[in-house]
Structure 1
């Protein structure tokens, strides 16, 4: 899979980028892009669960009361619209217990109405996932491919063997730029006197009228 790369919050090996000095407060600040999602417009295909429930504060990532679960098969497709432009940098996925955790993740940039009919196209980046019940694995995206993201589609094609896929938390890290409002510019033109506006030779301006 292309783009296979992730970093662990704690100590690790295997060639992964690691940072054991990142604090909880720093992670909470970094994974705060959920505040820039148009949550009411988030959709997840092949699930009747509330799609927006998995986008929540870092401190609530281990809350298991709400989650998204697939219906007919393990496949899930999230469509995530932002309220502005995002430069995506990283993703954390906390999936279900056992084999219900997704084992692959595919990212698509700016395909707002994406359906399962379109997931066969080449993804902007793909990952092989590891079970991560605590949210310790950060998957770093290729930043150059994810500038100016208005809509992010996340495709989870399969899991580790269960009939259904379950997801508790999706954390997004990156930079946000507010969408610029298009304002109507009203141009004011200085009125120029036209020759036809004054009657030639009227001489009214030179009359000395008596003051009553």
Structure 2
């Protein structure tokens, strides 16, 4: 078992309409080898009510040592006008999702509480009434405002949320709708430092068919008839 599995908080007290009866079933352990970050279509990441442009959302998924690794306390992605945030995460293929690992702020004003999880629903907005495939209750665990750099190399502020595997097969797009914070203060901004998605890659997306228009080849007979018609009209002048 990896160090991450031994120390990361693992939570299964989430719920959904179809899988609520499975809340007390022990989740299947995951490993870092199931990280799906290389299958995220990062140029197409989008967010609603984010304080950073879409082009900077990829920092949430960075793990490479050249970028400081997953433990590096990079600047978070925060909600902008209130405590709600929507993240749309597209994949380059079909994946089975097993779990979502989050590193958030730990202060009650900035720590996400309820997170709705949608599969293949790219049109979710803040007025959306669509039923999610799953709902996460994220605990008040995360990076505290007074954490120093010497405290970053630690798994204790990462939380793994296990998903009902039957509900997240053939996933091409994942949407996370963060609805509130632990302070229930809509004027505060929630903060996310890192996201890791674990699962299994299934197959690449089917390429869209390329439609090519070919110009019909010239018919020599048509060319001959055209010349004959022109000559006839010319001789009658």
SS in 1 for 2:58: helix
Normalised TM-score (structure 1): 0.70
| Comparing 38-47 and 129-138, the one that deviates more | 129-138
Q: Which residue of 2 aligns with 1:57?
A: 63
Q: Which residue of 2 aligns with 1:196?
A: none
Normalised TM-score (structure 2): 0.63
Encode CA deviations 1:74-102: one digit per residue, 9 max, x unaligned: 10100010000010000111111312110
SS in 2 for 1:117: coil
Greater C-alpha radius of gyration: 1
1:175 aligns with 2:200: yes
For structure 1, the residue ranges without an aligned partner over 5 or more in a row are: 1-7, 185-212
- The CA RMSD measured in Å over matched residues stands at 2.9
**Conservation of the 8 A alpha-carbon contact between 1:45 and 1:76:** yes
Distance 2:101 2:160 in 1: 5
**Conservation of the 8 A alpha-carbon contact between 1:92 and 1:135:** no
Encode CA deviations 1:103-128: one digit per residue, 9 max, x unaligned: 1111000012322222x321100011
**1:1-212 mapped onto 2 (5 Å cutoff):** 9-10=6-7, 17=26, 27-30=31-34, 32-49=35-52, 50-57=56-63, 60-99=69-108, 100-118=110-128, 120-133=129-142, 134-161=156-183, 163-179=188-204, 181-182=206-207
For structure 2, the residue ranges without an aligned partner over 5 or more in a row are: 14-23, 143-155, 210-237
Give aligned pairs, total: 170
Q: Which residue of 2 aligns with 1:4?
A: none
Shift of 1:181: 4.6
Shift of 1:159: 1.1
SS in 2 for 1:127: strand
Give the structure with the larger helix fraction. 2
- The runs of at least 4 aligned residues of structure 1 exceeding 6 Å deviation read 11-16
Distance 1:18 1:136 in 2: 17
Encode CA deviations 1:37-80: one digit per residue, 9 max, x unaligned: 00011011101322221112287333222320011101010001
